[in-house]
Structures are given as structure tokens and as C-alpha cells.
Amino acid sequence: MAAAATSSSPHSLATASGLLLGTTGASMGVGALVGWALGGAGIGLLVGAIVGIPLAVAVVYRVYAGAGR
């Protein structure tokens, strides 16, 4: 029963997953573009992923922390 009540909330597991994937993917894309402009798209992609993971966690935290207000 608790799972059914949780899935009807606007902040579901799918929302968190989408935010994580979207933020990480966008960060990797920006990193690859910056890396390509500087001559190393692979390194830029790697840096984008490294920066994107904690950034994605922070985005999800901000969204869910604001949900309790």
C-alpha cells in the first residue's frame, strides 16, 4: 500500500532517475564540447562525467529538499 501512495507523488523514483541521468548527460555533453574546442573531446567527456555525478546528486537533493516545504 505504501508503494502505491508514493508513486502518486509528483516526486517519484522516475523523476529522480530522470534528473540524475539528464544532469549527468548534459554535463558530459558540455564537457565533450569544451574538450573538443580545446582539442581533446575524450578528456572533456571524462571531466564532464566526473563533474556531472556530484552535480546531479545536488540537483536531486535540491528538488527533493524543496518538496517537504
DSSP assignment of 7-69 equals: HTSSS-HHHHHHHHHHHHHHHHHHHHHHHHHTT-HHHHHHHHHHHHHHHHHHHHHHHHHHHT-
Which domain range does residue 68 map to?
Answer: 30-69
pTM: 0.76
**Please, which pLDDT band fits residue 57 given cuts at 50, 70 and 90?**
very high
Considering the domain boundaries, does residue 15 fall inside one? no
What's the pLDDT at 45? 95
Neighbours of 23 (CB within 10 A): 19
* pLDDT exceeds 80 at position 11: no
> Is residue 22 assigned to a domain?
no
Residue 25 resides in a domain: no
Contact call for residues 12 and 60 (beta carbons, < 8 A): no
Q: For the chain, what is the domain count?
A: 1
Cell readout for 2 is 505504501
Residue at 38 is within a domain:
yes
Task: Give pLDDT, residue 1.
Answer: 45
Asked, for residue 69, whether it belongs to a domain, the answer is yes
